[in-house]
Structure 1
Amino acid sequence: MAITGSTGGREGWSSRTAFVLAAIGSAVGLGNLWRFPAEAGNNGGGAFVLFYILCVVLIGLPVLLAETLIGRHGQSSAPESVRRLAKESRASKHWDVLASLGVLSAFLILSFYCVVGGWVFYYVGIFFSDLVQTGITGGAFEGRDPAEIEALLPGLFGNGPLMVGLDLLFLAVTYFFVARGVSGGIEVMAVWLMPAFFFLLIGITIYGAFGGEFTESLTYLFTFEPEKLTGPVMLAALGQAFFSLSLGVAGMITYGGYVGRNVNLAGTSAIISGADTAVALLAGLCLFPIVFAAGLPANAGPGLMFQTLPHAFQSMPGGSLVGILFFIMVSVAALTSSVALLEVPTSWMIEKFKLTRIVSSALVALGALALGSLAALSFNMLADFRPLGFIPLFAETNFFDTLDGVTAKLFMPIAAILTCIFVGWIADQKLIDSENGLSGGLHLFWRFLVRWACPLALAAITIVGIFPDLFA
């Protein structure tokens, strides 16, 4: 059901609230709950966090608004929306490359993202089994050696069939929601699961505040020490702000195509980016008190969620219950993002090939499963396979890391740079002005950011991605 008369007869969001929740779900994912705490831990805490917030406001939010207004104006799949705006602006239709690159990125990310989603499902099962054995009040993994707990993830990596099966399970759940449509599937999921996600996140954060080292975590995350604000830290914060909002994958262009004309995009984009940032900060306040209370290091990197945290739950009252609730919460965040990733190429296939939604989403899901299976097996049976070994940047990366690297270091930032150039310099500014919901000084400031600050910042992310030792 579309907002009456607002999406040209296309299926769309039933309300502004539904769009906001779906868009927040698209942005909020493993990047907030997994990558942000790991990046904060590896980059000195407060200096990273404060610069990250600044980057969200000055870089992330302007690009988010630029992507959304393209979709709302075009009322189509991402590439077609760009083509329509380009045609009305008397510009080349080939600017659709920015959206096509985003669609490809969404598909590639979906293929390995569901592998990581499978890890989350695995830990839900592990903690459920432990909860049955130890009860609600007991600590997690009672009687088990810490080394044994930390070995759970490597043990999973070594089991190829299980990795592929978990990938299939996570992808199947993602497909279920997308195949049901925008209002009947994606919106229903967002309206029900996003409030549940926030309830769990706030609840576990309160638990950590009373049962963990909350004051130490606040100090760690929000104490600004100027000497720690180095070039690499600033670039890491900039990159986190960009990836956290899921920019460069045509997601917000696609979701914007379902938005009615009665929605103010500037205010809505601010809500989305604000909620995404709040989730990232809450994730830090959720994880670090538990980690610090257990006397474990904050700079555990990617292993923070899957190795350090399960170990920390061992020493906490009700650790098994909190553990399963935590990973259920992470599952919800991962699903809302994977649904958005699947919707991007599905929307394109529906429009390009005139296929039904069920068939289009199934074909995309099958393609993602094929690539995802190779990504899952790259931790075991295909560990020595280097798909792009002839390129120095990817000479030592397995299939999983190659998919991640190609999208994060090349496709996503390039697509975002092209978006800024297209919206800031190429598209008819009267059309842009009619869509962005800004006026006066804010409008001029946004245009300056999109034209100058955002492309330069995104270029820095691209250069560092290609030449990682340049600013080390």
Structure 2
Amino acid sequence: MAAGSQGVGEQWSSRTAFLLAAVGAAVGLGNIWRFPTLAGESGGGAFVLIYVLCVALIGLPLLLAETLIGRAGGHNADSVGSIAEVAELSGRSKSWSIFGGIGLVTIFLILSFYSVVAGWVLYYVWLSAADFLGSLMAGNPLAGAFTGMSQDQVTGMMGELFANPFQLILQHAIFMGLTLAIVAVGVTGGIERAAKWMMPGFFGLLILITIYSAFTGDFGAAMSFLFTPDFSKLSPAVINDALGQACFSLSVGGAILITYGSYVPRHVRLGPTAVMIAAVDTGVAIMAGLMIFPIVFSAGLDPAGGPGLIFQTLPVAFQQMPAGALVGFAFFILIFFAALSSSIALLEAPVAFVIRRFRIGRRLAASLVALAAFLIGVACALGYNVLSDVRPLWFWPTFADADILDSIDDITGKIGLPLAGLGVAIFTGWRASRRLVEAELDMSRGMFLIWHALVAWLAPVMVFLILLFGLVPSLLA
């Protein structure tokens, strides 16, 4: 087979389709929830500055590396097969594909608990929908959210959900079922079609709520918080968080971009498309901050609210705002779109592997993978109630206190993703055929040399540090 040849498998119908699907994979809870949380906990502007630099210098080069591997080994349509194919075309050992396997297992495990967390979002969609409907029936469509409830009652809704194993598992099942329904249809008929209607809706809601937040919240305080760097807030831990968030947000280190890259037609230029994906993803993260923090500051709440920022702090803020019931409902729909677009990508990558490896149909493969992830997710959900005393990694001091969900989150985020990303960086920068890589990228000589230096030298060092500090967090003290 010629280098970079394209197989007869499924493809995106156009560059726009790939762009929407890849942006959908990147834009998820990491942008809307994790980025504002980390920015709030890390002092704002200094974190944002380091984050943007990490995206440009490390995240974007790795995004491009994974996408080109996917297309170069495209007929395999999965991370393991694609890396093996590129290795063979480069005269290297196929054992490099182990890093594709690590990424594949990692995102499968991420899917298992991601669906549980997305179930929380779905639960708040139901709550906010009922709240807004109640305000309409009362003839007051501009009412604040959850009128008649105390602040303790509003913040306590999350605790009530965690204490109800049936509700947690039900929301998890519904969300996983929605993800399965889309992936089982196929690339063009399912994933691409979902991206084409879901992503415009996501961006429309993001813009509208940000405008609303700017006019009704303390937009000046949010701008100052996000764009005035306070370098006294910088520490090795903050820099490491920014670097990790840049890679996590762009889906670098998993098998997603390799799988999605395998569906990219030959006429699509990867370089400009990757730049656009990274730019949109970063823009969404920053807009999420501009959407959330004006509301938080206006209500006099703590921007360093941590994981409860979305599910506890903001619902309290919506209580105090005009049309808070409507805005709260729109806000959780927005997060739901972000969660679903990412979960589709998380499911598609292992499904592509199962289809190729076991030669079975897409619907059966998708059903088996989704069921396995669902069952692991059930254990994660029960870790908040029935199995709350279980500590799976009790023998590992770094993770000894983590519950079931947090244990999987720690293993995947601090070990799986960095390890897979490190392998891809070394393979692309040092072992893959230079001729094959240049042919896939089709960029000027100068731009190629800059990209290659970032992938071969800077990215491995920085991703290794993520791995090292994840395993030995005391080094950041």
Query: Same fold by TM (over 0.5)?
Result: yes
TM-score, normalization: structure 2? Answer: 0.97
Alpha-carbon RMSD across the aligned residues, in angstroms, is: 1.1
Aligned pairs for 1:347-386 (under 5 A) are 347-386=352-391
CA shift, 1:438, in A, is 2.2
1:286 paired residue among 274, 291, 295: 291
Q: Are 1:297 and 2:297 counterparts?
A: no
Does the 8 Å CA contact 1:83/1:93 hold for their aligned counterparts?
A: yes
1:64-103 superposed Cα distances (whole Å, 9 cap, x missing partner): 0000000000012111111110001111100001111111
CA distance in 1 between partners of 2:397 and 2:305 (Å): 27
1:422-464 superposed Cα distances (whole Å, 9 cap, x missing partner): 0000111111111123222211111111011101111111111
CA shift, 1:134, in A, is 2.1
Does the 8 Å CA contact 2:6/2:72 hold for their aligned counterparts?
A: no
Aligned residue in 2 for 1:16 = 15
Q: Are 1:128 and 2:149 counterparts?
A: no
CA distance in 2 between partners of 1:237 and 1:397 (Å): 22
Aligned residue in 1 for 2:89 = 88
Aligned residue in 1 for 2:281 = 276
AA matched with 2:369: V
Aligned residue in 2 for 1:32 = 31
Does the 8 Å CA contact 1:108/1:407 hold for their aligned counterparts?
A: yes
AA matched with 1:41: G
Q: Which moved more, 1:458-467 or 1:345-354?
A: 458-467
Gaps of 5+ in 2: none
Q: Which moved more, 1:227-236 or 1:426-435?
A: 227-236
CA distance in 2 between partners of 1:167 and 1:329 (Å): 18
Does the 8 Å CA contact 2:6/2:73 hold for their aligned counterparts?
A: no
**SS at structure 2 position matched to 1:469:** helix
CA shift, 1:6, in A, is 8.2
1:196-239 superposed Cα distances (whole Å, 9 cap, x missing partner): 10000000000000111011100100012232232222111111
Aligned length: 468
Aligned residue in 1 for 2:228 = 223
CA distance in 2 between partners of 1:367 and 1:186 (Å): 20
2:413 paired residue among 408, 414, 435: 408
CA distance in 1 between partners of 2:36 and 2:397 (Å): 30
Q: Give identity over the alignment, percent.
A: 49
CA distance in 1 between partners of 2:5 and 2:327 (Å): 43
Does the 8 Å CA contact 1:6/1:259 hold for their aligned counterparts?
A: no
Aligned residue in 2 for 1:149 = 154
1:190 paired residue among 184, 188, 195: 195
CA shift, 1:415, in A, is 0.2
TM-score, normalization: structure 1? Answer: 0.98
AA matched with 1:143: G
Gaps of 5+ in 1: none
CA distance in 2 between partners of 1:6 and 1:213 (Å): 54
Q: Which moved more, 1:6-15 or 1:344-353?
A: 6-15
CA distance in 1 between partners of 2:299 and 2:169 (Å): 33
Aligned residue in 2 for 1:116 = 117
AA matched with 2:201: A
Aligned residue in 1 for 2:322 = 317
Aligned residue in 1 for 2:342 = 337
**SS at structure 1 position matched to 2:466:** helix
Aligned residue in 2 for 1:259 = 264
CA distance in 2 between partners of 1:86 and 1:440 (Å): 23
**SS at structure 1 position matched to 2:474:** coil
**SS at structure 1 position matched to 2:370:** helix
Deviating 4+ runs (over 3 angstroms): none
CA distance in 1 between partners of 2:443 and 2:163 (Å): 52
CA distance in 2 between partners of 1:390 and 1:236 (Å): 25
CA shift, 1:393, in A, is 2.4
CA shift, 1:8, in A, is 2.4
Q: Are 1:207 and 2:206 counterparts?
A: no
1:125-170 superposed Cα distances (whole Å, 9 cap, x missing partner): 1111111222321000112111110011111001011101110000
CA shift, 1:249, in A, is 1.1
